[in-house]
């Protein structure tokens, strides 16, 4: 049985476990119909030209999470940003771990999607926001919607901000030979609210893991959301991240995606601007080797005047790794004075590595500033010689140059300890000894 059939038949079993009379279940039922008719995307579709899901569909994934043995904090501490105090929402093989988590209801809600879906006090918010920005016809998103049950739920009411950043950590223990996970996150920052979130997926063994995640983010007027995605998983872990963002006037939403490891990663990052003077920022650092594959598929839809978007993705590709950047910007006719900036720069450090980069601009307004630039190149030989001539060996010199290349994307990271951590991961990846402060 292929994965699609397996998922369809699993849906029946899934229905035994949830309240089918809930309005949310109507949404799920609609979603599974869409997935049933569409199936997994294929390379024939323009949007999936460079990323094949064929291999994943042949794997016999377990699709229902089962409780696994408890993990000791000390063994997984390194996957947290443990240098600072944070709220934590931790899942082990898709099941919430209260032992490793630290949630709150103190003025803000940092808790579980399953509680939010089941408890009456969240009903109103769920009705207002759940599945409101996520696509209703993109097949992987609807697949996730159909099985949506667990994930992180973050609700920040008007003019509030949680006392500390929130970490969402998904751990896979390898208790199944191969496991499919479908976390569903809902992040709401009401008017003038503020929140910082760090998300990470980590497999602890070489057993295969396939995560198809959906995150919906709502930023009210003047709200500020920072979302950091750390993708540094091991060689048998694949991730499809579908993130949908809806922004109102004067809001700022910044998503940083750090892709350093994993087998296949696809980031579908979609911004919808529903107001004026909005700032949408998308930044990414991708450093790959071996046979890793990362596909960034971004969309920024400018639907109102006077808004901005800033995209800056940097990639370094070694081994036989492959990268894709597809950045779509839509500027509606009424979205005058839009300022849309997009930059994708790549360095290939191996002849066997490959990058495909494609900006897609659909601009219907006439008074806009749109700039975009894509480059694919090698390291600058003159710069290398310059560093070498000062006594820095070639390997370190190339590391330093690549480090500097990737590093400027981090300027907008607002959690200093996170910045340091990412810098260290980058330095490690590139084999640079950071003999200096960051």
Partner 1 sequence: MLRIKDLHASVEDKKILKGINLEVNAGEVHAIMGPNGSGKSTLAEVIAGHEEYEVKKGSIELDGEDLEDMAPEERAHSGIFLSFQYPVEIPGVSVTNFMKTAINESRKARGLEDMPANEMLKLIREKSELLDIDRKFLSRSLNEGFSGGEKKRNEIFQMAMLEPKLAILDETDSGLDIDALRIVANGVNKLRSEDRAIVVITHYQRLLDYIVPDYVHVLHDGKIVKSGGKELAVELEAKGYDWIKQETVA
The footprint of partner 1 (CB under 8 A) covers 380-383, 385-394, 396-397, 400-401, 403-405, 407-408, 435-436
Give me the half-sphere count of Cα atoms (radius 13 Å) on the Cβ side of residue 6. 15
CB 320 to partner 1: min, Å: 26
CB 384 to partner 1: min, Å: 9
CB 77 to partner 1: min, Å: 28
Q: Which is nearer to partner 1, 400 or 415 (CB)?
A: 400
320/326 Cα distance (integer angstroms): 20
Q: Which is nearer to partner 1, 40 or 403 (CB)?
A: 403
Q: Which is nearer to partner 1, 19 or 408 (CB)?
A: 408
Token pair for 152: 């992180």
Query: Is the separation of the CB atoms in 188 and 154 below 8 Å?
Result: yes
242/426 Cα distance (integer angstroms): 24
Q: Which is nearer to partner 1, 71 or 387 (CB)?
A: 387
Give me the half-sphere count of Cα atoms (radius 13 Å) on the Cβ side of residue 28. 20
Q: Which is nearer to partner 1, 17 or 390 (CB)?
A: 390
169/153 Cα distance (integer angstroms): 13
CB 154 to partner 1: min, Å: 34
256/416 Cα distance (integer angstroms): 14
CB 388 to partner 1: min, Å: 4
Strands 152-156 and 109-112: antiparallel
Q: Which residue has the tokens 């710069």?
A: 383
Q: Which is nearer to partner 1, 19 or 428 (CB)?
A: 428
CA 424 to chain CA mean position, Å: 20
CB 312 to partner 1: min, Å: 13
């Amino acid at each position: 049985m292929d994965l699609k059939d397996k998922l369809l038949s699993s849906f029946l079993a899934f229905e035994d476990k949830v309240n089918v009379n809930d309005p949310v279940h109507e949404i799920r039922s609609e979603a599974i119909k869409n997935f049933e008719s569409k199936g997994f995307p294929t390379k024939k579709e323009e949007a999936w030209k460079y990323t094949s899901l064929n291999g994943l569909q042949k794997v016999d994934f377990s699709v229902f999470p089962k409780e696994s043995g408890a993990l000791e904090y000390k063994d997984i501490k390194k996957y947290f940003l443990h240098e600072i105090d944070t709220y934590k929402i931790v899942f082990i093989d898709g099941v919430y771990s209260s032992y490793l988590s630290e949630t709150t209801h103190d003025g803000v809600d940092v808790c579980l999607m399953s509680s939010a879906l089941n408890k009456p006090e969240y009903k109103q918010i769920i009705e207002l926001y759940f599945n409101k920005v996520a696509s209703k016809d993109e097949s992987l998103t609807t697949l996730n919607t159909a099985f949506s049950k667990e994930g992180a739920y973050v609700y920040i009411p008007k003019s509030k901000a949680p006392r500390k950043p929130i970490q969402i950590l998904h751990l896979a223990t390898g208790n199944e030979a191969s496991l499919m996970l479908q976390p569903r996150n809902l992040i709401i920052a009401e008017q003038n609210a503020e929140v910082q979130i760090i998300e990470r997926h980590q497999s602890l063994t070489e057993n295969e893991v396939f995560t198809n995640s959906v995150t919906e983010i709502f930023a009210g007027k003047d709200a500020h959301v920072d979302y950091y995605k750390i993708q540094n998983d091991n060689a048998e872990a694949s991730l499809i991240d579908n993130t949908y963002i809806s922004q109102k006037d004067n809001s700022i939403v910044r998503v940083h995606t750090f892709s350093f490891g994993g087998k296949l990663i696809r980031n579908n990052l979609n911004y919808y601007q529903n107001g004026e003077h909005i700032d949408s920022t998308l930044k990414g650092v991708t450093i790959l080797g071996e046979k890793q594959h990362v596909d960034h598929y971004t969309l920024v839809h400018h639907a109102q005047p006077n808004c901005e978007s800033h995209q800056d993705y940097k990639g370094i590709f070694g081994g036989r790794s492959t990268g894709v950047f597809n950045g779509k910007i839509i500027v509606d006719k009424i979205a005058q004075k839009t300022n849309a900036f997009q930059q994708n720069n790549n360095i290939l450090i191996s002849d066997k590595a490959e990058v495909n980069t494609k900006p897609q601009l659909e601009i219907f307004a006439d008074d806009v500033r749109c700039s975009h630039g894509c480059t694919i190149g090698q390291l600058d030989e003159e710069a290398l010689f310059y560093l070498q001539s000062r006594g820095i060996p070639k390997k370190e010199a190339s590391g330093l140059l690549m480090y500097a290349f990737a590093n400027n994307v981090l300027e907008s990271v607002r959690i200093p300890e996170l910045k340091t951590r990412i810098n260290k991961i980058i330095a490690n990846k590139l084999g640079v000894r950071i003999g200096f402060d960051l």
